[in-house]
Amino acid sequence: MKKAVLLFLYLIIGSTIYAQGPQHKWYAGTLYHTSGEIFDGLISWTPPRKGEYEDGDQVLYRADEKSEVFPIPYYKINSFVMGNDSIVVSHNVLFKNSPFMTVVLDNPTKLYTNKVMKNGFPLMINTGGFTGNVGMGVGVGTSVGGGVKTTYYYGISPDKVTKLEKKQFIEVMSTILADKPDVVAKIKDKTFRYGDMDDLINYYKTGQMPKKSYDY
């Protein structure tokens, strides 16, 4: 019994320490400043939590691994490239607290995602004492239900977008992807549905159908 409790305690504490450790992942990229300057180097950005910033968001920039880190607020950024992601700034008041939009498709009608971290629910686990109330009781804080909430938007620019709703999926995505009739056909015959956005975009870009579990 004691071994089981200790193992559980180590696992929880380990995951908690990991969660509280360094959160910044750095990617090679380019930042386009509102001054017209272009900065190549390393960029770090993660979707903000709801209420994390009173007004806007920021990106961390450094020239290389040994250089000083500079936080750059959204209002000094036109756009930035981070790894494979191209991200632009929306000045739409709807995105006041999360103005960065990832460009999914740069077509005449563009497709964007807006990402926000879910706060999750705080959870305190008390290990209590061991058998006979002998031993150490430890309260360990963690959270459940976190992750990233991704919402799709479409429009002619990041300032003028409309949220992609399930009831509009066939009409809107058929228009956005109209340059590839075979893709549109699979939208209309419901091969791809509202919940299959990642697979649909990958098929549009590569022509490869997603593998199902029974294909392996």
What are the pLDDT digits (tens) for 71-122? 999 999 999 999 999 999 999 998 988 999 999 999 999 999 999 988 644 4
Report which secondary-structure segment, H or E, holds 43: strand 38-44
pTM (2 decimals)? 0.75
Does residue 30 have a pLDDT over 90? Answer: yes
For residues 147 and 30, what is the distance between their CA atoms, to the nearest angstrom?
Answer: 26
Does residue 211 have a pLDDT over 60? Answer: yes
| Averaged pLDDT, 165-180 | 97
For residues 27 and 44, what is the distance between their CA atoms, to the nearest angstrom?
Answer: 6
* Residue with the two structure tokens 């939208």: 187
**12 Cα distance to chain centroid:** 25
What pLDDT score does 14 carry?
Answer: 40
**CB contact at 8 A, 46 and 23:** yes
- Maximum CA extent, the chain: 72
For residues 125 and 142, what is the distance between their CA atoms, to the nearest angstrom?
Answer: 8
Burial track 133-148 (b if 16+ CB lie within 10 A, e otherwise): eeeeeeebebeeeeee
More confident call, 91 vs 22: 91
* Residues in the chain, overall count: 216
Distances (CA, A) of 166 to 107, 152, 153, 172: 21, 11, 12, 10
Does residue 142 have a pLDDT over 70? Answer: no
102: which residues sit within 8 A by CB, 6+ positions away?
Answer: 85, 86, 87, 112, 113, 114, 115
CB neighbours (10 Å) of residue 65?
Answer: 8
For residues 112 and 169, what is the distance between their CA atoms, to the nearest angstrom?
Answer: 14
What token pair was written down for 118?
A: 């879910």
What token pair was written down for 114?
A: 């807006």
What's the pLDDT tens digit per position in 144-170? 445 889 999 999 999 999 999 999 999
pLDDT grade for 23, boundaries at 50, 70 and 90 = low
